[in-house]
Structure 1
Amino acid sequence: MMSEEKQMMDSIVGDLFFGEVKEENVFPFPGFTEEQQDFGREMVNAVSKFCEDALDCEKMDEESVIPDEVMKGLAELGLFGMGVNEDLGGLGLDYTLYSRVFAEVAAFDGAVATMIGAHQSIGYRALLNEGTEEQKAKWLPQLATGEKLASFCLTEPGSGSDAYSIKTKAVDNGDGTYTLTGQKLWITNAGTAEFYSVFAKTDHEIDGETKEKISCFIVEKGMEGVSFGEKEKKMGIRASETRAVYFDKVIVPKENIIGELGKGFKIAMNVLNSGRLSLGAGCVGGMKTLLKMATEHAKGRKQFGAPIAEFGLIQDKLALMAARIYATESIVYMTTGNMCKGLKDYYLETAVCKVYGSEALWEVCDQAMQIAAGNGYMKEYPYERYMRDSRINMIFEGTNEILRIFLALSGIRNPSESMKELGKAADVSKALQDPIKSVGVLTNFARGRFSKMIGQRLITKQHEKLDKEAGKFNSLLGQFAIQVENTLMKYGKNIIGNELPQKRIAEMAMNLYVMLAVISRTTSILNSEKVDQAKKDYCLNLARVALKDARAVVVTNLKSMTNHDDKIVKATSDMVCDNDGYGLDIINF
């Protein structure tokens, strides 16, 4: 099921920062092929039946464990090796099918989805991406069949979003081995896994100086010196296992190094970039279940002689919940489809999927609980479990705050082929390697680039019923490009330390991508001869609700670029810190 032919494509979200849309990358919407549809339906139905029959979600949550029989059943379905080639024991699914199957698991239970995602979306993803043929042949067959579980070890007690600051160290022994010492925190699957992708600092001689860089090592559970902390007691996703992992002078052979020595940071970021995609897909699955529950309750619950589904404020919630699902689904499968077609740099798109999807899920969960009212607050109903399980999505695989910064600063960069015009190759190289650390070098180039783009009509292939919405998108994109340019002119390299304008830029970029994906997907649906008119009408309505919602976010942030109270916010926050909290008592004031 893997894509055979790929043509390299530009980042769609990256182009938005230039005020550009390359319509060939957007239209038609990259829907499922007939082969994907046939296999996908069969696989999704099998997963759905298994989960419905085998998962006692309340019991797993209460006992904080996934039973062995569940693990065995998941393995028999092939869910531990969805992205691994068939010759190595996997299903060989492409990104699109992988995401759809993963969403089905997440529709039933967040803890099971977390375990599966931690295993393959990130656990052995570095091996899949960068491993040698020998390494893949050695480990992937057991990992793909679920015989061995994998774990991703990056986070440390003093290193969360700032991965550069990890302390775990691997020392070259000079005999073909390394001694690994350190600890990792909040590691999913830690105690049950047999395979660990571990990121550690290694020494490198550069220009006569010894400097530390990050490298990636395969560590196996049976190696002497590997131990674990107690199982963490979590708010949600309780059945998934989370522990600290300790490495006490673990001897690791050099054959266990994944990729090039010293290139581990890039390897880790690439792993997380793809992992965020499955997280966004999982959020779609969770939202669908919550909307189904909320709809059933709204239709069955009567007040004042009528089902509450007939009340305007409930209708408002149901419509927006459905539109959130439609929007998230659109960006996820716009992204996966283009990755299958050859989108090489997809880190911006997957970050949008993670941030938008996780926050959409949280909102849908909140609204579903509100519709359920008192029932939603009671433990005998599943709403509170979904809410507890949902909260982590805005934290792991990059907090939504750090990803907003990442989106804004990465988006402001210019494409690598245009950087040569700037000169100062060292500064340019540094900016490309880490946009969060170096953005000032881009300023002068960006001014001229953006100003050329304003005023052009950008998308033209939308269905005529979406002409109004497409026109508004074009206008907003032009204004967004101007504000990006203005921000660079105003802050220059100091944009790095100004997170409030970064947040506004990220919000606009995310919602412009949502608008673009929704317009493209709805256009394909309206143009299809296979979709009946009732479904077309429904999708058009969903699109209009989603587009209005996204447009409002962009407009609000455009206005806030010049009309804001950032200085007051900072001053007030400083005072709160000085007071160690609120610092006031109504008795005295």
Structure 2
Amino acid sequence: MSAASAVGGRFIIERSDPQAICIPEDFNSEQRLMLESAEQFIAAELLPKDADIEALNYELTVELMRKAGEQGFLAADIPAEYGGLGLDKVSTTLLAETLARSSSFALSVGAHTGIGTLPIVFFGSSKQKEKYLPLLATGEKIAAYCLTEPASGSDALGAKSTARLSEDGKHYILNGSKIFITNAGFADLFIVYAKVDGDKFTAFIVEREMEGFSVGPEEHKMGIKGSSTCPLYFEDVHVPVENVLGEIGKGHLIAFNILNIGRFKLGAACLGTCKEAIGLAASYSNVRKQFNAPLSSFPLIAGKLADMNVHTYVTESIVYRTAGWMDEKLSTITDTGDVEAGRQAAKAIGEYAMECSMVKVFASEALDLVSDEAVQIHGGYGFIKEYKVERIYRDSRINRIFEGTNEINRLLIPGTLVKKALKGDLPLLEKIEELQATLLEPQLPPALDAPLALEGYRIEQAKKLFLMLGGAAVQRYGTKLEAEQEILVLLANMMIAIFAMESAYLRAQKRLALGLDTDERSLASMMTKVYVQEAMEQLEGDARQVVVRMETGDMQRMQLSIVKKLMKATLTDVITLKRQIAAKVIGSEHYSV
């Protein structure tokens, strides 16, 4: 990937090279050894204690987190000079995906290693890093992230917690409260946001022992019952000035950059759970019999397994494509170990804020589909606590709320794209003008003889459609576009679909080039064909809604005709392909590619 193309959102205006993207098939031997090590830890330490973890045994969770620290699983994102491993983002993503099998424990680890630790990694001073990171790497200290308040959730900057400098200038006196804080029941360090003098949004490192700090009772949750979730209260808590994280009034830079990472890692965890649910459902469908035949022999059940596998394949493709981009961007930064280097690293990851939001939305909704179908395949048993799919179904629901609701993330996606264009980071407006000049001209479809050529052609047509409608929306509404939330969400859906289709397509193409597959009858190619066909149907419907909302009369008819022209293509027989995909999943009894 060239430096020029290492820009978030670039995929929507240019063709991508399959060889330039990261796919799971690229994992090296060290990454595969780490995966095996994590799987062994789960089998030996976590699964035998699953019931106790789920019963919210604080002492056990802390003990197991420290054991995870001994294995290096808490140190992956921490630089080596502070006791960490300093692994690349592909490796840390693989670790997050693998640990997802441990259910609530994975959430405790994820909150600690991600949003709890990374603010110090990226924005901490040298003294803060030296003091806290070695302890966080081993699990001797456990971290929590504290942003949400009773009156502010998605509106993070609406926080009411305050901080004022003490008369002697040695402390900030913190007052307020936070809610829904993961790890609150047993965490030692808390990344807390408050407004200095009532208006300067700032981050602080708060220690549990500080006088005036208290933790409320556990929330009784629908799912993720083995994780701690409590409110926090601050009554004249004296936080040393040395514990200001970053700069006074610049807490939003920390909060939003860390949310990007949190969204991405949540997507990786959803991927891991999708794979687990497929294994449980496929295995059960082979054992359970109805009408003297295994459930897996019935086409409707097989079709569900195929859908689950396809959406997991696409999720896996977007997760590791994005992780590869992050590593590419991070490789351009000189690691000097100082505050500025950390800020640059956070900014590099923030370059892909749109992609992080798309990963979060797509993966969380894919897991909802997969978990729902896993319960359906289990029938009445799927509703019984003894079967893990019941827990997976309950646990999955929070993911569409965590790290910014999916609604908020959908609004962010096109909004961020437009901001990049207006700043000159992305030649989006130029591409729109170039496209508008050609839309009404007759176009002959290209030859579609190469493997997956039809899918590649349809993805490029989808990009044209998105640019046409996005450009029309900006021209029509201008600065008032943000009030047209329904249009923004439809445009976001289109962009997510394009990103997902292209990621699946590029991965299948790269597999062919590597010789991992021989032709379009490979599982990856078949899943790509299925997803592109079904995504294009949804995308066309979304496009029509946008046109009908924006235009009337002759203009509406003209734009609808352009939609029809751009979407015109040979249809794919997805039923036959799904039967073939399902046969692979049923035979292996696990996620297959």
- The one-letter code sitting in structure 2 at the alignment partner of 1:469 is E
Q: State how far apart, in whole Å, the 2-side matches of 1:11 and 1:519 are.
A: 20
Aligned to 2:190: 196
- Equivalent position to 1:451, from 413, 427, 433: 433
- The one-letter code sitting in structure 1 at the alignment partner of 2:418 is I
Deviation at 1:413, TM superposition (A): 2.3
Once the two structures are superposed, the pairs formed by residues 17-36 of structure 1 within 5 Å of their partners are 20-21=13-14, 23=16, 27-31=19-23
Aligned to 1:426: none
Which range moves more in the overlay, 294-303 or 375-384? 294-303
Deviation at 1:12, TM superposition (A): 4.3
What fraction of aligned residue pairs are identical, expressed as a percent?
Answer: 34
SS of 1:182's equivalent in the other structure is strand
- The one-letter code sitting in structure 1 at the alignment partner of 2:41 is F
- Equivalent position to 1:478, from 464, 473, 493: 464
Residues 186 and 86 of structure 1: CA distance in aligned 2, closer, same or farther (over 3 Å): same
- The one-letter code sitting in structure 2 at the alignment partner of 1:391 is R
Aligned to 1:410: 416
- Equivalent position to 1:94, from 71, 88, 99: 88
Asked if 1:547 is matched to 2:532, the reply is yes
Aligned to 2:227: 240
SS of 1:250's equivalent in the other structure is strand
Aligned to 1:346: 352
Contact 2:65 2:109 in 1 (8 A): no
SS of 2:220's equivalent in the other structure is coil
Deviations 1:332-353 (A, max 9, x none): 1000001100173010001011
Aligned to 2:491: 505
- The one-letter code sitting in structure 2 at the alignment partner of 1:11 is V
Which range moves more in the overlay, 300-309 or 381-390? 300-309
Aligned to 2:344: none
Aligned to 1:429: none
Q: State how far apart, in whole Å, the 1-side matches of 2:506 and 2:8 are.
A: 13
Q: State how far apart, in whole Å, the 2-side matches of 1:317 and 1:75 are.
A: 38
Which range moves more in the overlay, 355-364 or 399-408? 399-408
Deviations 1:422-464 (A, max 9, x none): xxxxxxxxxxxxxxxxxxxxxxx9766512145599xx9x993
Residues 287 and 218 of structure 1: CA distance in aligned 2, closer, same or farther (over 3 Å): same
SS of 1:158's equivalent in the other structure is coil
Aligned to 1:488: 474
Q: State how far apart, in whole Å, the 2-side matches of 1:271 and 1:414 are.
A: 20
SS of 1:373's equivalent in the other structure is helix
Deviation at 1:53, TM superposition (A): 2.5
SS of 2:469's equivalent in the other structure is helix
Q: State how far apart, in whole Å, the 2-side matches of 1:154 and 1:316 are.
A: 42
Once the two structures are superposed, the pairs formed by residues 253-272 of structure 1 within 5 Å of their partners are 253-272=240-259
Deviations 1:306-355 (A, max 9, x none): 32222221121111100101100100100000110017301000101111
Once the two structures are superposed, the pairs formed by residues 91-170 of structure 1 within 5 Å of their partners are 91-106=85-100, 108-170=101-163
Contact 2:260 2:353 in 1 (8 A): yes
Q: State how far apart, in whole Å, the 1-side matches of 2:4 and 2:237 are.
A: 41
Asked if 1:371 is matched to 2:353, the reply is no
SS of 2:14's equivalent in the other structure is coil
Contact 1:319 1:545 in 2 (8 A): no
Q: State how far apart, in whole Å, the 2-side matches of 1:71 and 1:413 are.
A: 41
Residues 265 and 545 of structure 1: CA distance in aligned 2, closer, same or farther (over 3 Å): same
Aligned to 1:40: 31
- The one-letter code sitting in structure 2 at the alignment partner of 1:38 is S
- Equivalent position to 1:528, from 503, 514, 524: 514
Residues 219 and 463 of structure 1: CA distance in aligned 2, closer, same or farther (over 3 Å): farther
- Equivalent position to 1:11, from 7, 13, 19: 7
Residues 379 and 72 of structure 1: CA distance in aligned 2, closer, same or farther (over 3 Å): same
- The one-letter code sitting in structure 2 at the alignment partner of 1:53 is A
Contact 2:505 2:525 in 1 (8 A): no
Contact 1:110 1:390 in 2 (8 A): no
Deviation at 1:90, TM superposition (A): 1.6
SS of 1:464's equivalent in the other structure is coil
Aligned to 1:58: 51
- The one-letter code sitting in structure 1 at the alignment partner of 2:140 is E
SS of 1:171's equivalent in the other structure is strand
Q: State how far apart, in whole Å, the 1-side matches of 2:547 and 2:411 are.
A: 19
SS of 1:214's equivalent in the other structure is strand
Aligned to 2:569: none
Residues 33 and 476 of structure 1: CA distance in aligned 2, closer, same or farther (over 3 Å): closer
Provide the TM-score with structure 1 as the length reference.
Answer: 0.83
Contact 1:13 1:509 in 2 (8 A): no
Which range moves more in the overlay, 538-547 or 355-364? 538-547
SS of 1:197's equivalent in the other structure is strand
- The one-letter code sitting in structure 2 at the alignment partner of 1:291 is I
Q: State how far apart, in whole Å, the 2-side matches of 1:302 and 1:535 are.
A: 33
Aligned to 2:283: 296
Contact 1:284 1:329 in 2 (8 A): yes
Once the two structures are superposed, the pairs formed by residues 246-395 of structure 1 within 5 Å of their partners are 246-342=233-329, 344=348, 345-395=351-401
- The one-letter code sitting in structure 1 at the alignment partner of 2:292 is G
How many positions carry a matched residue from both structures? 521
SS of 1:562's equivalent in the other structure is helix
Provide the TM-score with structure 2 as the length reference.
Answer: 0.83
Residues 520 and 463 of structure 1: CA distance in aligned 2, closer, same or farther (over 3 Å): farther
Q: State how far apart, in whole Å, the 1-side matches of 2:430 and 2:50 are.
A: 56
Contact 1:64 1:238 in 2 (8 A): no
Contact 2:111 2:145 in 1 (8 A): yes
- The one-letter code sitting in structure 2 at the alignment partner of 1:497 is A
Aligned to 2:339: none
Contact 1:226 1:248 in 2 (8 A): yes
Contact 1:159 1:165 in 2 (8 A): yes
Deviation at 1:301, TM superposition (A): 2.3
SS of 1:342's equivalent in the other structure is helix
Q: State how far apart, in whole Å, the 2-side matches of 1:332 and 1:544 are.
A: 19
Deviation at 1:471, TM superposition (A): 0.4
Aligned to 1:177: 171
RMSD value over aligned CA atoms? 2.6
SS of 1:539's equivalent in the other structure is helix
Q: State how far apart, in whole Å, the 2-side matches of 1:354 and 1:33 are.
A: 22
Which range moves more in the overlay, 7-16 or 483-492? 7-16
Deviation at 1:514, TM superposition (A): 0.4
Residues 309 and 463 of structure 1: CA distance in aligned 2, closer, same or farther (over 3 Å): farther
Residues 346 and 419 of structure 1: CA distance in aligned 2, closer, same or farther (over 3 Å): closer
- The one-letter code sitting in structure 2 at the alignment partner of 1:451 is E
Aligned to 2:560: none
SS of 1:21's equivalent in the other structure is coil
Deviation at 1:176, TM superposition (A): 3.4
| Structure 1 gaps, min length 5 | 204-210, 421-444, 567-589
Contact 1:86 1:92 in 2 (8 A): yes
Deviations 1:179-238 (A, max 9, x none): 1111111101112111111111124xxxxxxx8221111111111111110111111111
Q: State how far apart, in whole Å, the 2-side matches of 1:6 and 1:199 are.
A: 37
